[in-house]
Structure 1
Amino acid sequence: MGLIKEKPRRTSMQAKFVLSISILLLCEPAHSQQDRQRRVGFIGNGGVTQSTAPYMDCFRSAQKKLGWNEGENITTIYKWANGNAGIIPQLVKELKDANVEVIATGGTLVTQNVAELVKDTPIVFAAVSDPVSSKIVTSASRPTGNITGQSNNLSATSRKILEYIKNINPSVKHMALLRNPNNDGKLIEENEIMNSAVDVGINIVKVDLVTAKDKDAAFEKIRLSMPDALLVLHDFAALELKKALSDFAIENRIIAAAQLKEYATSGALLSYGLNYCRHFERVSGYVDKILRGAKPVDLPVEYPSSFELVLNLRTAEALKLTIPASTLTQADELIE
């Protein structure tokens, strides 16, 4: 019978060495995952302007707070449709060629198009009024597929804006509604406005604004309709014209109202709606979660928990309007 040779036993020093190497190998993927350069894409409905830049600053600031430093461990590639849905396929291709891991989108129109084109990369949307009605997701509580995000839910502001207008000036009977007819989100908000207008006794004339080039035609239609008030449904073209819209309204003795604070700070009498800086911070939070391993299906679509009322008292004085104390006390901010 041959001798059975025993396997040489490891010394305690050898065992410690093997254990150390094993730990390093186990930890290496997580370490490289955090330190390697991550790539995120963003496609916005508008363009790079003074109006959109602050929102991107908020997005980047939130990224930094979450540990993502641009140029160090993350690269964000921005693309802008400038209101032209026809170029979105090319923008998507450019992001895919850049091997982005997540695509963030801004606006209903862009999000709808990107969702149709991209099925294998997570998408996080912003500034979508009603993602279910717009057929972006089938369920807000448990979105299926590769998409989730933050709804601005601006349609929920409709009735309240009309009530604020009537509280400030009960004689308002006729209102111009400025909207982009090519944006499904605006059409959803428009339906809410039309239903609420009947209840508060306001007649509405619709005015189209697709791009800034439509300004003169839109202003002329408003003049001819001789409204008591103008309600601006937020869209990238309207945002670019916010100062011109406010000046036009004051010049023509019209109460101007809108859905974002930026319109009121530019001279509209009031705004009631979302804080867009916080909105884009929340979007950045969802991008962060996905980069760290979360799936869109595990991230319910979020809706804003509150809206802000901003009143421009300088404009009220210019229009010789006295804002009731009951409305003043509800304001989150007064511009004096």
Structure 2
Amino acid sequence: MIDRRRLITSAIITMLVPQSVSAQQSGKVWRVVFFSVAAGPNPLADSFRRGLKELGYSEGHNLAIQYRWMAGHESQYEEVARELAESEPDVIVTAGHPPAVAAKKAIVQTPIVALAVVNPVGGGLAASISHPGGNLTGFSLEVTPETNAKMLQLLHEAAPKITRIGALWNSANPGSRFYLDAVERAAQSEKLTLNAYDVRRAEDIDVVFRSLRGNVEGLIVFPEGLLWTYRRNIVEAAREAQLATIFGYRDATEMGAFMSYGPDLVDLFKRGAAYVDKIIKGVKPAELPIQQPAKFELVINIKTANALKVVVPPSLLARADEVIE
């Protein structure tokens, strides 16, 4: 005769076992591709992987992640996207705007989770924010295109004497163009001079800084994959050129940049893991709305401000999420 208490206990344990653990016990290994604009392993990829681990996925057991690092090789995006689709993964995760564009164009069935994209509706990645349609969903870097102009406004508020501003962008990245258009409109409105400098390769950084010396007093660095990859090089070049610089990612300020304003990218990539989990469990990308940043972080490095002889208004310091002493 079956022990009734043992039967009830067994049923409760079965209900409490997470789906991901059940998948592991059944021998299913979920295959995820991480298709990134950046070069090599980095904190954002690490955060994405931690997010999956917290959801019960373990590489080598019920999860296999294939990484493709592009490091600015823009001419190869579509070819790589087609190659990845042919490998038939369960989910393709794109990190940065260019791989998302290439994946959307080349892949029609495999679910895509696009992280850190810009203007997904205007850029043709999604039909709408709430109902993206098709096989792509993900996380955007901004709430509206006007958000992209905020970096210029904050830089000018922090250092009002600056009237000639440079902007580093990547013409090979359609997302970078959205930022440039918004900042150009804001510069006209504020009656500021804006000079754009195109960076498509790491080698372009030294060339650009030689050409902008004496021509600009401040600098904006857009939250673009290639510029993020080489952010330390740019921080050091800006320090040497004595330029008040604002980035779209906080860790640049931690490295010594003057300011940063943008969404928490580490958190964004970790949250992206939850979308992969939902898709693995049967939710279609078309049913998952494009997520937008809930909060933007303003970080100011006072040590750098002092070195630049910039006196940041107390009102701006009071609004900062963090002031690095």
Q: Same fold (TM over 0.5)?
A: yes
- Greater CA deviation, 281-290 or 159-168? 159-168
User: Which residue does the alignment assign to 1:5?
Assistant: none
Letter in 1 for 2:171: P
Residues 259, 273 of structure 1: 8 Å contact kept: yes
Question: Cα distance, 1:241 vs. partner?
Answer: 2.9
Q: Which is higher, the Rg of structure 1 or of structure 2?
A: 1
Match of 1:109 among 87, 94, 98: 98
SS of 1:171 mapped into structure 2 = coil
Aligned 1:91-170 pairs, distance under 5 A? 91-153=80-142, 155-170=145-160
User: Residue 40 of structure 2: which of 25, 41, 48 is its match?
Assistant: 48
Report the equivalent of 1:203: 193
C-alpha separation between the residues in 1 aligned to 2:128 and 2:207?
39
Question: Given the superposition, is the C-alpha separation of residues 319 and 96 from structure 1 closer, same or farther in structure 2, using an over 3 Å criterion?
Answer: same
2:206 is the alignment partner of 1:239: no
Q: Secondary structure at the match of 2:211?
A: helix
1:260 maps onto 2:252 in alignment: no
CA distance in 1: counterparts of 2:245 and 2:141, whole angstroms: 21
Superposed displacement of residue 224, structure 1:
4.8
Deviation at 1:93, TM superposition (A): 4.7
Q: Which amino acid in 2 is paired with 1:91?
A: V
Matched residue, 1:190: 180
Indicate which of 169, 176, 182 corresponds to 1:179.
Answer: 169
Q: Is 1:277 aligned with 2:266? A: yes
Distance, in Å, in 2 between the alignment partners of 1:147 and 1:304 is 18
Note the residue ranges of structure 1 that are not aligned, 5 or more in a row.
1-11, 14-29
Distance of 2:72 and 2:243 partners within structure 1: 28
SS of equivalent to 1:130:
coil
1:254 and 1:82 mapped to 2: Cα distance?
26
Q: What residue identity is the alignment partner of 1:238? A: L
Q: Distance in 2 between matches of 1:135 and 1:301?
A: 13
Deviation at 1:89, TM superposition (A): 4.3
Paired residue type of 1:44: S
* Identity value in percent: 31
Q: For the aligned residues, what is the CA RMSD?
A: 2.0
In the alignment of these two chains, the number of paired residues is: 305
Is the 8 Å Cα contact of residues 78 and 106 (structure 2) preserved in structure 1?
yes
Structure 2 equivalent of residue 60 of structure 1? 49
Q: Is the 8 A contact 2:77 2:98 kept in 1?
A: no
Specify which of 302, 308, 311 is matched with residue 322 of structure 1.
Answer: 311
Letter of the structure 1 residue corresponding to residue 174 of structure 2: D
CA displacement, residues 203-260 of structure 1 (integer Å, 9 cap, x when unaligned): 10110101101112211221152x1100111223322332332233233332111111
Q: Which moved more, 1:136-145 or 1:179-188?
A: 136-145
Contact 1:162 1:200 in 2 (8 A): no
Flag the 1:103–1:240 CA change in 2: closer, same or farther, 3 A: closer
The 2-side partners of 1:92 and 1:243 are apart by: 29
In structure 2, how many angstroms separate the alpha carbons of the residues matched to 1:243 and 1:82? 15
Q: Give distance in 1, aligned partners of 2:22 and 2:56.
A: 15
Contact 2:247 / 2:253 at 8 angstroms: preserved in 1? yes
Q: Which runs of 5+ in 2 are unaligned?
A: 3-18
